[in-house]
Structure 1
């Protein structure tokens, strides 16, 4: 089974994916963003746009996920956290995997615009850059996320991007539990206390930092 976790940039996709992974034995995270970063590293800065517009990204994501889903040595689901707002891109990746015979469950995380902006401001990358550089301006990745927020919220509300999960009043663990309840696997108990949970989420945020 593939669990594709969609949603606007900053809504909590990666955090939810890691929460699912740590509480679902045998699961694995396959982040489609890594394919995009690889393609960006091959391109000069002037040619770097949204890597999802590259046919090579969509084909690469399809092939890698197909390989992982058909491979052996894994008992749990494959988890892919990735913003996907264009119907054509959705068809070339998620729908193709379904046509290939894979059980793909798609979820879109939502929250109010102001809530997502706050989460973007608080997540590890924004905090780390400000601490190191002493600057108040948002880093480039956060600026891109903010610039795309309204179009993400509009397009992801469409029925083809269901199942929708409102994260406005639930935390990361709650979002993971909603997904697990929808697809069937039983999550291991959440033994994190408040401090340990914050430290774990900070660690996930720091691991999302990319230096080009």
Structure 2
């Protein structure tokens, strides 16, 4: 089974994916962003646009997920924002057409909630520590520029199931996804402080500098 976790940038996809992996036996996270950043590293900076517009990215993500789903005896988790319907069909639609069990979830929240999360996530904290509390989140400018489009597109029926996360923590979102997919998570026995530290470390590990 593939759990595709969609949502706006800063919507909690990565944290949810790794919470699911932590509590779901024999699960693995396959992050489609890695394919995109690999393609970017092959090109001079002036040619680096949105890697999702590259046929190579869409084909590469499809092939990797198709391969993993065919070989891995467990749940595969893909956290990735995809809001172009054609691109979504080229990947998710083709995987379903090949017979794979793909469960899609769009993590949504009010605009103000997502903006707050962007300010609070790992990179934003690092920026404020170095440059001051009011430092602009330049790294998040792409996320902000795409926010309204993401929130609008992901409410379409094609991108169901939608989960509104404004009042839900990461653990609760993961439990909602697992229940909807018929999966059983291990109990969450982690304390609040330890969980917060682990999520902070997850965010830091996924800061992108390229």
TM-score bin (small chain): over 0.9
**Contact 1:11–1:110 (CA under 8 A) maintained in structure 2:** yes
Provide the TM-score with structure 2 as the length reference: 0.97
Residues 5, 17 of structure 1: 8 Å contact kept: yes
Corresponding position of 2:2: 2
Q: How much does 1:129 deviate?
A: 2.8
Q: CA deviation at 1:133?
A: 4.3
Q: Which runs of 5+ in 2 are unaligned?
A: none
Query: What residue is the counterpart of 1:24 in the other structure?
Result: 24
User: In structure 2, what is the equivalent of residue 176 of structure 1?
Assistant: 174
Q: Which runs of 4+ in 1 moved over 6 A?
A: none
Match of 2:35?
35
CA distance in 1, matches of 2:125, 2:151: 24
| 1:2-151 to 2 correspondences below 5 Å | 2-72=2-72, 74=73, 76-134=74-132, 136-140=135-139, 142-151=140-149
Aligned residues: 209
Q: State the superposition RMSD in angstroms.
A: 1.1
Of the candidates 192, 195, 201, which is equivalent to residue 194 of structure 1? 192
- The C-alpha deviation readout for 1:126-185, integer Å capped at 9, x for no partner, is 111332344701132x11001100011111111000000110111000000000000111
Please name the residue that 1:167 is paired with: 165
Cα distance in structure 2, aligned partners of 1:126 and 1:119:
9
CA displacement at 1:101 relative to structure 2: 0.8
Partner Cα distance (2:128, 2:50) in 1: 25
Mind listing any 5+ residue stretches in structure 1 that lack a counterpart?
none
Q: Is the 8 A contact 2:127 2:135 kept in 1?
A: no
